[in-house]
Structure 1
Amino acid sequence: MSENKWEKRRKEDTKRINDVRNEWERDHARLIHSAAFRRLQSKTQVLGLGESDFYRTRLTHSMEVAQIGTGILRCLKHKYEHLNIEIYQALPDVALMNAICLAHDIGHPPFGHGGEVALNICMREHGGFEGNGQTLRILSRLDKYTDGYGMNPTRRLLLGVLKYPASYISTVQDNAYGEIKYPRWLSEAEKQKPPKCYLNSENDVVNWILEALNNDEKAEFVKSKPHKSGHLKPMYKALDTSIMELADDISYSLHDLEDAISLGMITRSDWENHNQANEEDNADSKENRFKACGLDSNKIAEKLFSNESYQRKNQIGDLVNQFITNAEVKPTGILSASSDLIKWNAVLDKQHEQLLEHIFDLVKDKVIKSPNVQQLEFKGQKLVIELFEALASDPTRLLPTTTIVRYQKAETETHKQQVICDYISGMTDEYATRLYEKIYYPHRGSIFDRL
């Protein structure tokens, strides 16, 4: 596989004198030195910032995804070096894998999924909003490293962060959305989630990324199918993306479990009840999901719920290792694929895939869907919608100077609304809260405040 076409950047980019780094190392450096990456330290992962100093933020989560992603990569390289040289040569460089994993969440707005739903409601008539799509937009257009080309990363990095290679307009189904209530922040979040997609505004970027594929590959790679959400969902992803996504799944399932146990949100009885076999499900009992992977859920519980925190940490590490070392590479099913990057995907074997999903179901039931977390998401949803409405009501009065310049240059109403959306989605939880208070609260804020 020729690396050259995947090392290309949208804008010509000359190396600095005596720079000995490869292109992937340059991508990695740009990412970790970017403001968008730094802002992840003050963005919600699952548990709202300020509740405790213990748990993960989007930044620490992204760092853990990068560590797990490179761990999966090393295991796959070890496994396939002598088993399948085609797969081995297709696997990414470690620096590239690091960069893709670190970048995967930089487009997510303040207040997690509450913020995403809020911006999707506000942008309903202007191309919607989806956090992964915003990641591509930041990397390729918004970041300040260049004027108009974002971080100007390599084609392969952009392909790696393209989790959903279909546009909003090609995946959205209007009848999948519920009614928008008034005020809009009262709309039911579950029925206002965006399709999994990239944003329409990035069509030119995605077309450039996919120029490295032949026409048959492109046509197959961007296909979507009906999803339970009611929208369409892309069917395929690239090899590098599949490693990143697997690392993300492992991280948020196990590390959110660790946080939840430490904070008392998941108890041993919760664990045991979740793992009990249902009478009508004996053949594929939940207990058997551990046994199928050579694990004992009771022994795992002994360490997870031990009074000694090091025992819990060691057990989480054992589980992470269990999933990392059971990753494998399988064909994507794209029959026309000649490019190795869309021919193969990293996956877990069926037993470990079911076990990881089972563990995540516990986290979802006891943490993500808990009233405390949902109340924080709802508060974030309300705050973001009302902040958007205020800024959109009188943009040249309320937006910062640099954003006003972008707003005035925007040629269409959709582009103008997208400028406001870009501004809000880039905020940290704390910045959004302070700006909201400054605009809406009579006794908060002064002209001397530095947000």
Structure 2
Amino acid sequence: MEELYGAADRERLVPEPPKRVDAPERRPFERDRARVVHAASFRRLAAKTQVVGPQSDDFVRNRLTHSLEVAQIARDLSRALGTHPDIAETAALAHDLGHPPFGHNGERALDEVAAACGGFEGNAQTLRLLTRLEAKTESAGLNLTRATLDACTKYPWPLAGAPVPGGVHADGTSRTGAKFGVYDDDRPAFDWLRTGAPGRRRCVEAQVMDLADDVAYSVHDVEDAIVAGRLDLTRLDTAAVWGTVRDWYAPDATDDELDDVLARLRRVGSWPRSPYDGSRRSLAALKNLTSDLIGRFCGAVQQATFAAGDGPFVRYRADLVVPADTWAEITVLKGVAAHYVLQDDERVALQERQRQLLVELAEVLLDRAPDELDEAYVADWHAADDDAARLRVVVDQVASLTDASAVAWHRRLC
């Protein structure tokens, strides 16, 4: 499949000299994957919120474990389609790098803070990290190939071209900010990576990454909720859950339609017939369910995509096809997790405190910069030529923090 990707796909923004002759032989997309895995921002995901805080439970997923699971799903689906698995896996590993402390909740707070410099968006921040902030190649971040960077671009447009926000994020926070993939001052790198792209269309590798993300959190949020004792799949309050599904994801869905979707899911052989009790047998059964659901969703997408065209399923030569029934099943699982986990009153109150903490931290850093900034951001501060650029530096600093370090910085400075 390597031969399906040409020289332009393998090109890097900054040309690199040949590697040492005694170094292990790795192809360009393999190098991309390694660079993301070794990035500081990738390690920090271990201490950043996925749905609930990483310090709240030994079992609960954090941004790092979620990213690893998304990467596995993306790699398997990509291989099945004949798309380059290293590209899809790297995009999945990188897809949440730009998330600030406290997940989408923190994203919402920083978007308000950054209003004067073009807002904040986790996907645009990911591109900024990959092409500027991560220290691998001066002025070019990790200096990934064009094909990999394009696969990392979930929303290939700037703020000015973003659709009107609506709905909710995976963790239940409202989509108050527009979804976009590049800040205005990162347009040179964005324009380079989108060379040859047809308008706002996403490459098929980015579509694989995005679907893998949806599949992972729809299934794994349910798994986490069951183990935490918040959800029993054998006793669902469907009337209440369907209300959440309509409020959050599918406003036009009827009770009958949602009942049919749940009935299909219950026919999955590993769907539980008795409550989870914490035993190894029960945990094994739950793992079988998550595996079966992921296989069910990805298998349906693979079949539909093959049925829609002959391929090759590379870059802009094809699109991923997600059957309506499959998307409905993913949506119902999201709604189940949302109802039993994400609407908890204590969690809503905690999110309000977290947003206030980030706003206060950004304000005090802006007042005291550059003295309180990490050294890398001190250099960015001195290089900034106006107030908006200096505000962006402060936002970059806050976004880089983990949940725990944001709390510690706030305690020290505020």
Q: Normalising by structure 2, what TM-score?
A: 0.86
* Matches of 1:310 and 1:269, distance apart in 2: 17
CA contact (8 A) 1:48 1:373 kept: no
Residue in structure 1 matched with residue 116 of structure 2 by the alignment:
125
CA contact (8 A) 1:304 1:311 kept: no
Gaps of 5+ in 2: 167-172, 244-251
* Matches of 1:288 and 1:212, distance apart in 2: 43
Residue in structure 1 matched with residue 48 of structure 2 by the alignment:
43
Distance 1:245 1:393, change over 3 A: same
Distance 1:106 1:13, change over 3 A: same
> What amino acid is the match of 2:292?
D
> What amino acid is the match of 2:257?
S
**Candidates 68, 76, 101, aligned match of 1:110:** 101
Question: Are 1:194 and 2:178 an aligned pair?
Answer: yes
Deviation at 1:309, TM superposition (A): 1.6
Deviation at 1:205, TM superposition (A): 1.3
Distance 1:300 1:306, change over 3 A: farther
> What amino acid is the match of 2:29?
W
Residue in structure 1 matched with residue 13 of structure 2 by the alignment:
10
Residue in structure 2 matched with residue 233 of structure 1 by the alignment:
none
> What amino acid is the match of 1:433?
V
DSSP 3-state at the match of 2:321: strand
Residue in structure 2 matched with residue 305 of structure 1 by the alignment:
276
Deviation at 1:285, TM superposition (A): 3.1
Deviation at 1:277, TM superposition (A): 8.9
Distance 1:31 1:424, change over 3 A: same
**Candidates 208, 227, 247, aligned match of 1:262:** 227
Question: Are 1:426 and 2:400 an aligned pair?
Answer: yes
Distance 1:394 1:69, change over 3 A: same
**Candidates 157, 167, 172, aligned match of 1:166:** 157
* Matches of 1:345 and 1:268, distance apart in 2: 34
Residue in structure 2 matched with residue 288 of structure 1 by the alignment:
260
Distance 1:172 1:129, change over 3 A: farther
Residue in structure 2 matched with residue 83 of structure 1 by the alignment:
none
Residue in structure 1 matched with residue 213 of structure 2 by the alignment:
248
Worse-superposed segment, 365-374 or 269-278: 269-278
Residue in structure 1 matched with residue 246 of structure 2 by the alignment:
none
Q: Normalising by structure 1, what TM-score?
A: 0.79
Alpha carbon RMSD of aligned pairs, Å?
2.8
Within 5 A, what are the aligned runs for 1:271-350? 271=236, 273=238, 284-291=256-263, 295-296=266-267, 300-302=271-273, 305=276, 307=278, 308-328=282-302, 330=305, 341-350=315-324
DSSP 3-state at the match of 1:341: coil
Distance 1:165 1:296, change over 3 A: same
* Matches of 1:15 and 1:322, distance apart in 2: 43
CA contact (8 A) 2:270 2:285 kept: no
Deviation at 1:374, TM superposition (A): 2.2
Per-residue Cα deviation, 1:18-59 (whole angstroms, up to 9, x for no partner):
341110000011111111110011100001122111110000
> What amino acid is the match of 2:315?
L
**Candidates 91, 96, 114, aligned match of 2:87:** 96
Worse-superposed segment, 203-212 or 245-254: 203-212
Question: Are 1:61 and 2:81 an aligned pair?
Answer: no
* Matches of 1:115 and 1:240, distance apart in 2: 28
Question: Are 1:211 and 2:195 an aligned pair?
Answer: yes
Percent same amino acid among aligned pairs?
Answer: 27
Deviation at 1:359, TM superposition (A): 1.0
DSSP 3-state at the match of 1:302: coil
Distance 1:352 1:401, change over 3 A: closer
Residue in structure 2 matched with residue 398 of structure 1 by the alignment:
372
DSSP 3-state at the match of 2:140: coil
* Matches of 1:282 and 1:161, distance apart in 2: 35
DSSP 3-state at the match of 1:198: coil
Question: Are 1:376 and 2:350 an aligned pair?
Answer: yes
Distance 1:304 1:206, change over 3 A: farther
CA contact (8 A) 1:31 1:103 kept: yes
CA contact (8 A) 2:270 2:292 kept: no
CA contact (8 A) 1:306 1:312 kept: no
CA contact (8 A) 1:75 1:325 kept: no
* Matches of 2:313 and 2:338, distance apart in 1: 37
* Matches of 1:281 and 1:398, distance apart in 2: 51
**Candidates 26, 29, 49, aligned match of 1:21:** 26
Per-residue Cα deviation, 1:312-362 (whole angstroms, up to 9, x for no partner):
11111111111121113659x9xxxx9952342223222111111111111
Worse-superposed segment, 266-275 or 418-427: 266-275
* Matches of 2:313 and 2:133, distance apart in 1: 29
> What amino acid is the match of 1:157?
T
Gaps of 5+ in 1: 78-90, 178-188, 223-235, 441-451
> What amino acid is the match of 2:329?
L
